[in-house]
A and B are shown apart, each in its own frame.
Chain A
Amino acid sequence: MRIRAGLLEGARGLALALLSQLGSLALLILAINAIAFTSIGIGLFLTPAVMVAVRGHANLRRRLAREWYGVEIAEPYRPAPEFGPGLAGRVRRWQWLVTDPATWRDLLWMAVDATAGLALALIPPALIGYFPYGVVLALGVWRPIYHAGGGEWFTFVHVTSQTTAWYAAALGAAYLLVGLAVNPTIMRWHAGLTRAFLAPTKEQELSLRVAHLAETRSDALDTQAAELRRIERDLHDGAQARLVAMGMSLTAIEHLLERDPEQAKKLLAQARESSSKALAELRDLVRGIHPPVLAERGLGDAVQALALASSLRTEVTVELPGRLPAPVESAAYFAVSEVLTNAAKHGGAHRAWIDVRHADGMLRVSVTDDGHGGADPARGTGLRGIERRLATFDGVLALSSPPGGPTIVTMELPCASSSPRTSSC
C-alpha cells in the first residue's frame, strides 16, 4: 500500500511538473504578452482568449488538488456580467478580466508554479527515478560514460569504477526508500502551495459573497414584485370585480323589491353566487400566497397535503424537529409543489417519493419520481426558477435525471433558528 502510494505520488509529481511547464509557464508568457499587447489593440482580443485558458488550467489544478489530495480550493473569479456586442463588449470583457484581482493572482501563481512548484513536484519522481538509474549504472552503463571522458556524478557519488557504481545503486535504493516514505507528504505540500496562491483571499471571498448576495437579492426582489403584481391583478379582475357586481345587484334588488319581487329573488341568487365565486377566488389566491396548511401545520403536513392533492401516488417521509423559519418553509413548500407538478406534467411519472429531513442546520428535501427522466434545467422546466428562489436562502438544488429515469431532485436549505418557537431548527 505504502509502496503503491509512494510510486503513485512520484507519477503525480511528474505530471504536475509537466503541467507547470506546459501549462503555467507557457500560459504565463502568453498572458503577459497578451496584456502587454493591449497597447496596440490586439491584446483586447488576445487577453480574454488566453485568460480562458489560464482559468481552465487553474481550475484543472483546483480539481486535481481536490481529487488527489482532498484539498478544497474555491474559485475566486468574479461572475461575468453581460458584456454586450461589438467593440464596446470586447473592452468590457477585457476590463472585467484585468480588474479582477483573481486574474493577477493567477499570474502570480503560475510564476510560482513554474519555479517553486516545479522544484517541489520534481522531488518525488526524482527520489523514485534515481533507483533504476543507479541500478542501470551498476549493471555496466557507468563504463562507457566513464570511458567517454565523463565521470558521472550520481548526486554526490562520483562514479568512476564498478565499486562506486554499486555505491550509486545502493544510494538509489536509499532514495527510493526515502521517496516511498515522504512522497505523499511532499505532494500534499505541493497541493498546499497551490492552494495558498489559487484559493480566494478573505477579501475576494467577501467580495464574491457580496456579489452573490446582490444577485440573489435582486432576484428575490424581482420575484416578489412579480408576485405582488400577480396578486394585484388577480384581486382586481377577480374578487374586486365580483364585489362590485354584488353591490350593483344589491342596488338593483333594492329598487325591484316592491315592484318585481320575482326578479329581485333572481338577482339575490345571482348576488349570492357572486359572493361564493369571490370567496373561491380568494381561497385560491391565498393558497398561492401562503397555503393555509403550511401556516397551520408547518412544512411536514403541508407536504403531506401536497402529496394527497397530487395526481401522482406519493409517499412522504418527514423528519423535522418542529417548525422551521416561515420563509424557509414557504420556499421549500413551493419548490416541492413545482417539482411534483413537473414530474406529473413533463416527466410522465406515476409515483413519487418525498423525503423531508433536517440535520446539521440544513433542511434537506428530495423528490424522486419514476418518470422517464432526462430532465434538463437548461430547457426550462421550472427548475431554474426554483434554483433561483432557493439561492435567496443560500439553498442549492441538485438534479439527477438520467434518460429512462428515475429523476431525483435534491434541495438543501441552510436554516438558522429565528425564534424560540423555531429554535429546534
Chain B
Amino acid sequence: MRVVLAEDLFLLRDGLVRLLEAYDFEMAAAVDNGPELERALAELKPDVAVIDVRLPPSFTDEGLQAALRARRATPGLPVLILSQHVERLYARELLADGSGGVGYLLKDRVFDADQFVDAVRRVAAGGTAMDPQVISQLLAGTARAEPLARLTPREREVLALMAEGRSNAAIAQRLVVTERAVAKHTSNIFAKLDLPPSDDDNRRVLAVLAYLDRS
C-alpha cells in the first residue's frame, strides 16, 4: 500500500516513516511542506495520505486545505489528518462530501502503533477514523441531547466507538462482548435515533456522524 506522508517535524516524520514501513506500507513520498504535498498528492495518487494539519510555509491549516483540494480533484482519495488538536469544524469539513475515506486523529494516537496502523488501513479502505475527542465533542452538543438521552450507557459506548469508524468486530473486541451483541446494540441505536438501517459499515458510520453533527 503506497503512502504519502506530510509532516514538518523531522523527528515525527522519521518516526512515522519507520512505523509505517515496519507495517509493510510503501512510502511513496515523505514531504515537509504544503506545496510539495500538493504536488505529491496530484502526481503520485497514493492509496492513502497521512497529513499534518499545520504545515510550512504559512503554518496555517495548509495540510488540511491541500487534502480537501486533492479530494475535490480525486473524490474519495483516502486522507488521514493528524493534528496536535482536534476541531469539530475541521472534522465537519472533512466529512462534508460524504464519501468516506477520511481520518482525523490527534498526534498522540501514534503512540499506539497497532491502533494507528489500523486507522490508516481503515481509511485506505474507504472507512473513517475519527478521534475519540471529536466524537466526545459531537456527543456533548446539546442539539442531539434529547434523543441521545434515550440510549443506554452501553449503547452510548457503542455509538461512540462506531462513530470513530470501528467495525462491529473491533467494537466487540474492545468492549469484550460478542459481535452479535454489538449488532443488537447498533440496531437498537439506529431505531432509537430514527436512522435508516444499513449493512454497509462505512455508510453506517457516515450516517451516524452526519446525525451527530447536525446542529
- CB-CB under 8 A from B157, the residues of chain A are none
Residues of A within 8 A of B118 (CB): none
| A112 close to B (CB within 8 Å) | no
> Does A309 lie within 8 Å of B111, measured CB to CB?
no
A305 / chain B contacts, CB cutoff of 8 Å: 87-89
What's the minimum C-beta distance from B112 to chain A, rounded to whole angstroms?
8
Give chain A residues whose Cβ lies under 8 Å from the Cβ of B83: 292
Contact among B53, B85, B142 with A286 in the assembled complex (CB-CB below 8 Å): B85
Within 8 A of B (CB), among A236-281: 272, 275-276, 279-280
Q: How far is the CA of A58 from the CA of B106 in the complex (A)?
A: 63
Counted as pairs of residues, one from A and one from B, with CB atoms less than 8 Å apart, the total is 50
- B108 near A313 with CB under 8 A, answer no
A209 contacts the other chain (CB 8 A) = no
Distance in angstroms between the alpha carbons of A279 and B106 in the assembled complex: 10
Q: Range of interface residues on chain B?
A: 20 to 34
Interface assignment of A221: CB less than 8 Å from any CB of chain B: no
Find out whether the CB atom of B85 lies under 8 angstroms from the CB atom of A287: yes
- A386–B17 CA distance with the chains assembled, in angstroms: 47
Does A308 touch B at the CB level, under 8 Å? Answer: yes
CA–CA, A353 and B140, complex, Å: 20
Q: Which of B54, B85, B107 has the most CB of A within 10 A?
A: B85
> Considering only CB atoms, which chain B residue lies closest to A272 in the complex?
B111
Interfacial chain B residues near A272, Cβ < 8 Å: 111
Q: How far is the CA of A309 from the CA of B59 in the complex (A)?
A: 24
Chain A residues within 8 Å of B53, by CB:
296
A275 near B111 (CB under 8 angstroms)? yes
Q: For this complex, into which size category does the number of interface residues on chain A fall?
A: 20 to 34
Decide: B54 and A296 in contact? CB cutoff 8 A: yes
| Residues in B whose Cβ lies below 8 Å from that of A297 | 60-61, 89
Q: In the docked arrangement, what's the CA distance between A293 and B92, Å?
A: 14
Would A309 and B54 be within 8 Å (CB), given that A279-B108, A296-B60 are in contact?
no
Inter-subunit contact A308/B89 (CB<8 Å): yes
Q: Does A295 count as interface, using CB distance less than 8 angstroms?
A: yes
Complexed CA–CA distance, A279 and B110 (Å)? 13
A308 to B53, CA, bound (A): 19
Question: A319: CB under 8 A from chain B?
Answer: no
- Least CB separation from A283: chain B residue: B85
Contacts of A292 on B, CB cut-off 8 Å? 54, 83-85, 87
A346, chain B: closest CB distance, angstroms = 17
Q: Quick check: A313 and B215 within 8 Å, CB to CB?
A: yes
Which residues of chain A come closer than 8 Å to B198, judged between CB atoms? Answer: none
> Of A276, A296, A312, which contacts B108 at CB under 8 A?
A276
When the two chains form their complex, are residues A293 and B87 in contact, meaning their CB atoms are under 8 A apart?
yes
**Does residue A216 face the partner (Cβ distance < 8 Å to B)?**
no
**B101-135 contact mask (Cβ, 8 Å, vs A): 1 or 0:** 00000111001000000000000000000000000
Q: Does B44 contact A (CB under 8 A)?
A: no
Residue B173 lies at the interface, judged by CB distance under 8 Å to chain A:
no
In chain A, residues 287-307, which have Cβ atoms closer than 8 Å to a Cβ of chain B?
A: 287, 292-293, 295-297, 301, 304-305
- Residues of A with C-beta under 8 A to B85: 283, 286-287, 292
Residues of B within 8 A of A311 (CB): 140, 142
Residue of A276, A283, A293 near B111 (CB, 8 A) is A276
Chain A residues with CB under 8 Å of chain B are: 272, 275-276, 279-280, 283, 286-287, 292-293, 295-297, 301, 304-305, 308-309, 311-313
Q: What are the 3 A-B residue pairs with the smallest beta carbon separation, nearest first?
A: A296-B61, A296-B60, A305-B89
Beyond A287-B85, A304-B89, A311-B140, 20 extra complex contacts between A and B, CB < 8 Å: A272-B111, A275-B108, A279-B106, A283-B85, A292-B54, A292-B83, A292-B84, A292-B85, A293-B87, A293-B90, A296-B53, A296-B60, A301-B89, A305-B88, A305-B89, A308-B88, A308-B89, A308-B215, A309-B137, A313-B215
Binding site for A on B (CB under 8 A): 53-54, 59-61, 83-85, 87-90, 92, 106-108, 111, 137, 140-143, 215
15 contacts between A and B (CB under 8 A): A275-B111, A276-B111, A279-B106, A286-B84, A292-B85, A293-B87, A293-B89, A295-B60, A297-B60, A297-B61, A305-B88, A308-B88, A308-B215, A311-B140, A312-B142
